Amino acid sequence: MPELAASVSSVRKGHHDIAIGNILGSNIFNLATVLPLPALIAPGIIDANVTNRDYPWVIALTIALALAIYVFKKSKNGSIPRWVGLPLLGSYCVYLFIISSGSSI
């Protein structure tokens, strides 16, 4: 939530680069430092749902965001239109529904 608040605040002030840098930086930090700590403290077995359900979602949404950045960086004003966020938000809602229902794809 702090990343979301900082990103929304920077976008409202017109600093779009700070928002993207904040999102990417926090994700890289979380993947590089926070995520490995539990595995170092108490290694465990990774559930098959994680590899079969979660990894494809994360990879697909990362590729979608990277494509949006690549495609729209050469647009007239160099920013990603708001309508691009709707499918990303929708896919997040579908992902949350799938997780909450306990089913796997």
**pLDDT tens digit string along 52-66?**
888 888 899 889 888
Residue 66 and residue 77 in contact, taking contact as beta carbons nearer than 8 Å: no
Give CB contacts under 8 A, 24+ apart, made by 91-97: 91/57, 91/60, 91/61, 91/64, 92/61, 95/57
Model-level pTM? 0.55
Question: Is 103's pLDDT higher than 70?
Answer: no
**pLDDT tens digit string along 5-36?**
888 888 899 888 888 888 888 888 888 888 88
On average, the pLDDT of the chain sits at 84
Percent over 90 (pLDDT), the chain: 6
